[in-house]
């Protein structure tokens, strides 16, 4: 591939990164905190592409250019796929094949006011499993995640937590009991309202703790713009 073609590929790659960083597409790949770095990388690549094209233009006519194989332009296809096709977030298939990544928190912040209390999957699971639900007693909670059903049909509310990017995503799971919808579809997103129960089970993959939530109501919700849980912190 000649330098003009290299510049074109660099420009497309930089444009793809800028597009991803400026939209919610980036959240399918990396944590929201990394979006500025993604956009900065895109800007650098675009600048490099412009500089390469300008330099090559100045050399035009200085020598005979050998034709390059046209098949090299197939390198552009993955870039177009990045721009045009948003990959689905990791779901129940990955969640059930990985052990829960729940870890004991250093500290737990006081619960906000209002009922029901909006909590992330990680926050509820941490309070239920490691604080014995002390901060949850007498407080209805509202938690959102996607459904996963194990081989026995037991339902879990799951959120994939990121350390950095989707490649290292790990599940945090809450087992559900109580007033569940009559039809449970894996990977469907639900907003459930319920209450703490001391019941606890162990993840068959890594023996990690999976607390239960007693559901009083549940409703389907759209997939959130950021499908990964940003409250995760090792």
pLDDT at 173 over 70: yes
Buried b or exposed e, range 128-166, using 16+ CB within 10 angstroms: bbeeebebbeeeebbbbbbbbeeeeeebbbbbbbbeeeb
Whether 136 and 178 share a structural domain = yes
pLDDT at 208 over 70: yes
Greater pLDDT, 215 or 30: 215
150-163: pLDDT as tens digits: 999 999 999 988 77
Q: What's the pLDDT at 234?
A: 41
Total-model pTM: 0.70
* Alpha-helix residue ranges (DSSP H) falling in the chain: 3-22, 35-58, 76-84, 92-96, 121-130
Q: Quick one: tokens of 76? A: 């552009």
DSSP string, 82-144: HHH-PPPPP-HHHHHTS-------S--PPPPSSSSEEE-HHHHHHHHHHSTTTTTTT--EEEE
End position of a domain, from candidates 27, 58, 84: 84
Whether 32 and 130 share a structural domain = no
> What Rg do the C-alpha atoms of the chain give, in angstroms?
24
Whether 80 and 106 share a structural domain = no
| Beta-sheet pairing, 155-161 with 141-149 | antiparallel
Whether 80 and 98 share a structural domain = no
Residues in the chain: 234
Look at the chain and report how many structural domains it folds into. 2
pLDDT at 204 over 90: yes
58-101: pLDDT as tens digits: 665 555 555 555 655 666 666 666 666 666 677 888 899 989 99
Q: What's the pLDDT at 51?
A: 79
Contact 142, 116 (CB under 8 A): yes
CATH code at 162?
A: 2.40.50
What 3-state class would DSSP assign to 177?
strand
Question: For residue 114, is it within any domain?
Answer: yes
182-198: pLDDT as tens digits: 889 999 999 999 999 99
- At how many degrees (to 10) do helices 35-58 and 3-22 cross? 160
Q: What's the pLDDT at 26?
A: 62
CA atoms within 13 A on the CB side of 66: 3
End position of a domain, from candidates 84, 112, 137: 84
Question: For residue 233, is it within any domain?
Answer: no
Q: What residues make up the domain containing 56?
A: 3-84
- Give the other-Cβ count within 10 Å of 213's Cβ: 27
Distance CA 155, CA 140 (A): 20
Question: For residue 229, is it within any domain?
Answer: no
């Amino acid at each position: 591939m000649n330098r003009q073609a290299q510049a074109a590929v660099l420009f497309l790659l930089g444009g793809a990164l800028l597009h991803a960083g400026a939209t919610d597409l980036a959240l399918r790949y990396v944590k929201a905190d990394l979006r500025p770095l993604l956009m900065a990388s895109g800007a650098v690549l675009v600048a490099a592409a412009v500089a390469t094209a300008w330099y090559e233009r100045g050399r035009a006519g200085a020598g005979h250019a050998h034709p390059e194989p046209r098949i090299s332009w197939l390198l552009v296809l993955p870039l177009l796929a990045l721009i045009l096709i948003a990959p689905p977030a990791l779901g129940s298939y990955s969640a059930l094949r990985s052990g829960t990544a729940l870890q004991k928190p250093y500290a737990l912040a006081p619960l906000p006011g209002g009922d029901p209390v909006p909590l992330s999957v990680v926050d509820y699971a941490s309070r239920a499993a490691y604080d014995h639900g002390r901060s949850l007693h007498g407080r209805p909670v509202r938690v959102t995640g996607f459904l996963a059903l194990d081989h026995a049909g037991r339902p879990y509310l799951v959120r994939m937590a990121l350390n950095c990017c989707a490649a290292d995503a790990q599940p945090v799971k809450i087992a559900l009991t109580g007033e569940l919808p009559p039809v449970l579809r894996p990977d469907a997103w639900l907003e459930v309202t319920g209450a703490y129960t001391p019941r606890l089970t162990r993840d068959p993959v890594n023996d990690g703790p999976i607390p239960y939530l007693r559901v009083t109501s549940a409703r389907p919700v759209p997939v959130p713009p950021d499908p990964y849980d940003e409250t995760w912190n090792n």
